[in-house]
Amino acid sequence: MAEKGHFVVYIADQRRFVIPLKYLKNNIIRDLFAMAKDEFGLPNGEPITLPCEAVFMEYVVSLIQRHAAKDLENALLMSLATSRCLPTSNLHQEQSNQQSLLCSF
């Protein structure tokens, strides 16, 4: 159970994240939800699982908390769109490469 004003998601590696509801307005979070729907379908009474790993989600949360520049957010969104075209087995490697690239901004 999440505290008031928050929601819970799980990540592909089974880590649990408690996220403020206001983050649902963020385009990155929305894109992750769309990816989850495409990959896993709609949850049937089960927790929502996002198709990324904890390190990636921690990075996204830190960007949102720091009110990262729109250019950085757009770059991350583009990288998410690119990763949708990759086979699932390559997703982890591609996300690691993207994180390294994004950290250089």
Residue 48 lies in a domain: yes
Q: The domain containing residue 87 runs over which residues?
A: 6-103
- The whole-model pTM stands at 0.71
Residue 68 lies in a domain: yes
Residue 1 lies in a domain: no
Task: List the one residue out of 55, 58, 67 whose CA is nearest residue 95.
Answer: 55
Task: Give mean pLDDT, residues 68-92.
Answer: 67
Residue 15 lies in a domain: yes
Task: List pLDDT tens digits, range 44-72.
Answer: 888 899 988 899 899 999 999 998 888 88
Residue 88 lies in a domain: yes
Whole-angstrom distance, CA of residue 29 vs CA of residue 50: 9
Q: Is residue 62 within a helix (H) or strand (E), and if so which, with residue range?
A: helix 54-65
Contact (Cβ atoms closer than 8 angstroms) between residue 12 and residue 49: yes
In this prediction, residue 32 has a pLDDT band, given cuts at 50, 70 and 90, of very high
**What letters, b where the CB count within 10 A reaches 16 and e where it falls short, cover 36-62?**
beeeeeeeeeeeebbbbbeebbebbbe
Number of domains in the chain: 1
More confident: 104 or 76: 76
Residue 37 lies in a domain: yes
